[in-house]
A and B are shown apart, each in its own frame.
Chain A
Amino acid sequence: MSATTSPADTVSHAAATPEKEQPYAALGLKPDEYLAIREILGRRPTSGELAMYSVMWSEHCSYKSSKSYLRQFGTKTTEKMRKNLMVGMGENAGVVDVGGGWAVTFKIESHNHPSYIEPFQGAATGVGGIVRDIISMGARPVAVMDALRFGNIDDPDTARVVHGVVAGISFYGNCLGLPNIGGETYFDSVYQANPLVNALAVGVLRHEDLHLANARGVGNKVVLFGARTGGDGIGGASILASDSFSAGGPTKRPAVQVGDPFAEKVLIECCLELFQQELVEGIQDLGAAGISCATSELASNGDGGMFIELEKVLLRDPTLTAEEILMSESQERMMAIVTPSKLAGFLEVVKKWDVETSVLGEVTDTGRLIINWHGEQIVNVEPRTVAVDGPVYDRPVTYPTWIDALNADSASRLARPTTASDLKDQIFRLIGSANLADKRWITNQYDTYVLGNTALSFPDDGGMVRVDEESGLGFAVATDANGRFCQLDPFQGAQLALAEAFRNVAVTGATPVAVSDCLNFGSPENPEVMWQFSRAVEGIADGCMELEIPVTGGNVSFYNQTGDVPIHPTPVIAVLGVIDDVAKRIPSGWQDEGNNIYLLGVTREELDGSAWSEVIHGHLGGRPPIVDLAGEQRLADLIRYGNEQNIISSAHDLADGGLAQALIESALRFGVGARVWLGEILERDGVDVATALFSESTGRVIVSVPREDDVKFQGLCEGRGYPALRIGVTDSRDTFELQDVFTASLDELRHAHRSPLADRFGPTIGV
């Protein structure tokens, strides 16, 4: 049955039939939201308008529960934070000036729910969506990263999700020709029926190439190009359809989008050529809410009016209704605003790349977004009411009843190992635990080489990419979040994620300059979740203010829960850094024998929420480690200065698993052994051996220093007042010796570290 044969629900029909019942509830709108739409329009909405409002006013598109909190990212800023920010919150992605006429744009976004239902396509289209956000800014995408959280590694369903998600990211990212330069993977039963797939993309552009999503210039053409529009990714459209057609209409269509990376690759090259020839005025990608979102946002950000003939949209499936076309989330599509005089040039470029294109309409000065369907007006709205002035909720916030008891249950009561054999046993259990294990089973499936500019990637602390082949100018990125810490204290947990990502960028030799965040939480209708959210946002905003690096954009994902149980609050923080020459990058592992190993920072008894408390005792309670952002800043400055003096051979951040994990990772990175002693740490910091090895105190990094630079390095640390202790020396033997505790071959450690994923998901290829 074809939609064109049925009477469309036109604006005049809607005005004449105010009593018609509409399936707003099934589309996710609340009764008062529906009434608000009727009030805005002065009549009932047409089914097309209802489709648009319902998707654009959804939590995902409108940020209605989070908006009032996210404003802090704009208000808690300083002059320094705004100085290099070319585009901030609210656009498709933030843009940062990195010098030399270059800019970097980056953003992290969630694709959690689709990735549980259909892991392969969910994850693949997550990559595709974030990459289109980057293109929309006028940038060439140059790298991707992903922050993943899965259920318990031993749950049978986890393997299904892991295989699908990793294959989806691998397939889509590799086919796009974008190096995957890092990310993180955690396993925890709180993510069992709600994995988190957060995809990050980075793009680079010259300042003059910056493009924004706005529709300006009356008479300019509105052009849709890329893949054809199909029935995939339509959330509630089948409800509208079944309301219009009692039988024989389109039936349930997949709510998960299907990705075609080849189409997106061609779209990237096509867009870059359009930008280069200056053929587009404004551009917007089609992501969530498809054409509804693109038309209403472009119009809102521009001169305010737009006229579209919807039947001109090229379709994969000719039976789609107007409402479905408005809501479809088919991938690999873009919408551009083109001046009439440049349309021929535009069409020439898209033809060269074999990209299908249709001119849908034009920019007007009516102040209305008007959409016709075969000559009949089915949408007539003020675009801002759809895209910008959606509902804003001040959701109830309640301090969780359980949190005081949780905070009181400290890990300090747990038995700590004291004998050499117990310590060794626990170190091996930790490095072989799901979250601390080597992740090359995953990362070996990602291309890191393509584009030829990758300076660092996993398992280094941050990924690093060269931007300018002449000067060596580059950027570094790292993502972090520790849901366990956030469960104990969302404010501090969010700041811990910020501190760790900041430190991870600093140890590469880059200077942190900006933040993007992906805020994954449970239901906003749960007041305790809203408390977690409010605290986490406050923590990030305050922390960024203290570090003086701005939040440039990101995304909020609510309703992440298994049954009624929300996930641990998981605010994933991505920090972007700049380095003037990637040749100066700092490796994360030891490369040479005879280097002195230093521990920077002090170790406190901070085992609450640690990997040790989880792996050895299955415990979560107490208070997360102290955050000292000013200290992190001084540490970053020290590393940068030492690196400029060329006296640092390697630097590796201490985080999950503490010192033991960091030392073993440093040894295994390039297969260089070491002899390490803990005596001075125990004496200076007054802690026991287990605490020295497993505490997750912040502000700590291990660095290796060539022997001849030893005096200089010590002087540097003393001069800057940063605590430093020489705790070991690298050597030429293939062993790692922790004095008075154990000596193990690197092979033995490697085996323990690499086995967990391979044991569950199949052999790691190529090792």
Chain B
Amino acid sequence: MRIGVITFPGSLDDRDAQRAVRIAGATPVALWHGDHDLQDVDAVILPGGFAYGDYLRAGAIASFAPIMSEVVDAAGRGVPVLGICNGFQMLAEARLVPGAHTRNAHQQFIRRDQKMRVENAGTSWTTAFETGDEIVIPMKNADGRFVADAETLARIEGEGQVVFRYLDVNPNGSLNDIAGVSNLAGNVVGLMPHPEHATEPGFGPDTPAAMSSGTDGLKFFESVIGAFVTA
């Protein structure tokens, strides 16, 4: 399976997403923001970072990047798309997932190992989980506060589009403690925490067993790979 990772000029965790894809057993394909070409990949990841500098709202300009028209098409065809952090912001700006992001309620950048609950194990990126699983994924952002109007919130809660919810601490003031959401079809998922940083023992979050040994993020990639293998 070939999973594309799009690099924007200000992408920061693009090579980390590629590494995670490799660890999970798929082939990472580097894609370039300025191309109109997804190179026939089987899934797409929009990584974390600051795309074009995010001088405007985070992800706002990136949602108009040349390659985003291909991403929008692919998403419409059911290709799995994962937006992580800045990638989540781009998905929201491109209207591929509901909601929007504002500055964290406390106005600071925050980095922490974040506990979340998997609220929907039926999306393309969560089938390896059970609904209700509690996982720890690193997060790091300044503009991570998920917001949506009351009607949208009620709708996505009702439709099962809330995929992850923060537990213990709401790190940025997100409404309904929402950490990640999907489109209605479930092939496009965006979240603030970084699953690619919990895939390699020794470089992930701490666990009760050992320092930096958390690999809860692996299942994101295993979900999409599993569906591809059985398809």
Give the interface of A toward B (CB within 8 A): 167, 170-171, 174-177, 260-263, 265-266, 269, 353-354, 444-455, 466, 469, 582-583, 587, 591, 670, 763, 765-767
Contact = CB atoms under 8 A, between A and B. Distances in A.
A393 B16 CA distance: 50
Interface in B40-83: 48-50, 52-55
A697 to B, nearest CB: 28
B16 A451 contact: yes
Contacts of B110: 444-445, 765-766
B108 A591 contact: no
Nearest to B210: A591
Interface stretch (B145-153, B199-207, B221-229): B199-207
B36 interface: no
Nearest to B104: A765
B101 interface: no
A85 to B, nearest CB: 30
5 contacts: A177-B12, A265-B12, A445-B108, A452-B197, A765-B108
A175 B49 CA distance: 7
B196 interface: yes
Contacts of A170: 108-109
B171 interface: yes
Contacts of B53: 260, 262-263
Nearest to A460: B211
* Residue in B12, B19, B111 whose Cβ sees the most chain A Cβ within 10 Å: B111
B204 to A, nearest CB: 9
B171 A450 contact: no
Contacts of B171: 765-766
* Residue in B12, B171, B196 whose Cβ sees the most chain A Cβ within 10 Å: B12
Interface string B100-128: 00001010111110000000000000000
Contacts of B50: 175, 261-262, 265
B212 interface: yes
A91 to B, nearest CB: 28
Contacts of B12: 175-177, 265, 450
A682 B50 CA distance: 56
Contacts, number: 96
Contacts of A447: 109, 111, 140
Contact of B140 (A167, A174, A354, A587): A174
B15 A452 contact: yes
B146 to A, nearest CB: 16
B185 to A, nearest CB: 30
Q: How big is the B interface, by class? A: 35 or more
A283 to B, nearest CB: 20
Contact of B196 (A175, A452, A455): A452
B9 A354 contact: yes
Given A174-B109, A766-B171, A266 B9 contact: yes
A583 to B, nearest CB: 6
* Residue in A177, A261, A445, A670 whose Cβ sees the most chain B Cβ within 10 Å: A177
Contact of B49 (A177, A455, A670): A177
B138 interface: yes
Given A449-B140, A454-B203, A177 B13 contact: yes
B154 interface: no
Contact of A446 (B10, B111, B197, B202): B111
A767 B169 CA distance: 7
B139 to A, nearest CB: 9
B194 interface: yes
A354 B110 CA distance: 30
Given A175-B50, A269-B9, A591-B210, 16 more contacts: A167-B109, A170-B109, A262-B10, A262-B52, A262-B53, A265-B9, A444-B112, A445-B111, A449-B138, A452-B13, A452-B15, A452-B197, A583-B202, A765-B110, A765-B112, A766-B112
A455 B202 contact: yes
Contact of B211 (A171, A266, A670): A670
Given A262-B52, A262-B53, A452 B202 contact: no
B127 to A, nearest CB: 25
Nearest to B196: A452
A265 B171 CA distance: 27
Given A177-B49, A763-B106, A455 B16 contact: no
Interface string B5-47: 0000110110110010000000000000000000000000000
A591 B211 CA distance: 8
Contacts of B111: 444-449
Nearest to B20: A452
Contact of B15 (A167, A451, A767): A451
Contacts of B142: 171, 174
A170 B141 CA distance: 11
Interface string B171-193: 10000000000000000000000
